[in-house]
Amino acid sequence: MLQTLFTVGGFSLGSYGVVVAISLLIGLGVAYYLASSEKEYRQHLIDLLLYAVIGAIIGARLWQVLFYEWEYYSLHLVESFMIWHGGMAIQGGLVGAFIVGWIYTRKYKLDFWKMADIAAPGIILGQGLGRIACFLNGDAFGSPTNQGFGLVYPPGTPAYDAYGSQPLWPAEVWEGQWDMIVFALILILPRWLKLPKGILFVSYIVLYSLGRFGLEFLRGDGARYLFNWTSAQWSSMGMIVIALISAAVLTLPRMTAKN
């Protein structure tokens, strides 16, 4: 774990922000490459990313405040705006970015689902790389393994503050690895199958959410609610349901046409 890359005078460069920035750039590069045959859409990717990042930050913070830690923030409303203190839910970030993407494509008369299919591989790759930031920062950690193996976080990290030197499940590492598997799958799927527009993006949502749902059973940094599920698990299930409904709507015209 390495929370700070280096310190010069009174300035410290945190690893979290650097890794996230690199992840965004690599994800953009992948999307830009995959859009080589879609020049009309390709020229919008950089502008769309800039707006989507703003939407993601707002969405991630709102999701964290409202669904993850409302019991605390309801009593400390001013702190809800202090994003520099940490507390950003990736699922809320995705929702915020998707809403911005929908508004952007509507404004420029682009097909949202087509743009979503182009962006999906870059998004999930960026998510996977972004989990390296969580590992270096010592957050998004797992619960104690109660065995003689696991990740042991150093003092000063959120994981150490929660569990001390107990070995923890490498939840954030495994999630990053799962994201890489999803990245590979959604690159391969179009080669195997002729997918209707939007289904690649929907497949990414379902696959990512299934992995996140399962790995949440190993997480040790969130409260649990009905069915002993975390907020992230409820969010994942909601995203799966919406994605499947979207898939049905997207494929229905094609099935009707065949009949």
**Residues of each annotated binding site:** 131
DSSP string for 11-71: EEEEHHHHHHHHHHHHHHHHHHHHTTT-HHHHTTHHHHHHHHHHHHHHHHHHHIIIIISHH
For the beta carbon of residue 192, count every other beta carbon within 10 angstroms. Answer: 8
Q: Are 11 and 5 in contact (CB under 8 A)?
A: no
CA distance 137 to 63: 20
Packed helices 171-192 and 112-137: angle between N→C axes, nearest 10 degrees: 150
Tokens 């080669």 found at: 191
Closest of 151, 133, 137, 132 to residue 218, by C-alpha? 151
Q: What are the phi and psi torsion angles at 183 (to 5°)?
A: -55, -45
Question: Two tokens at 255?
Answer: 């099935």
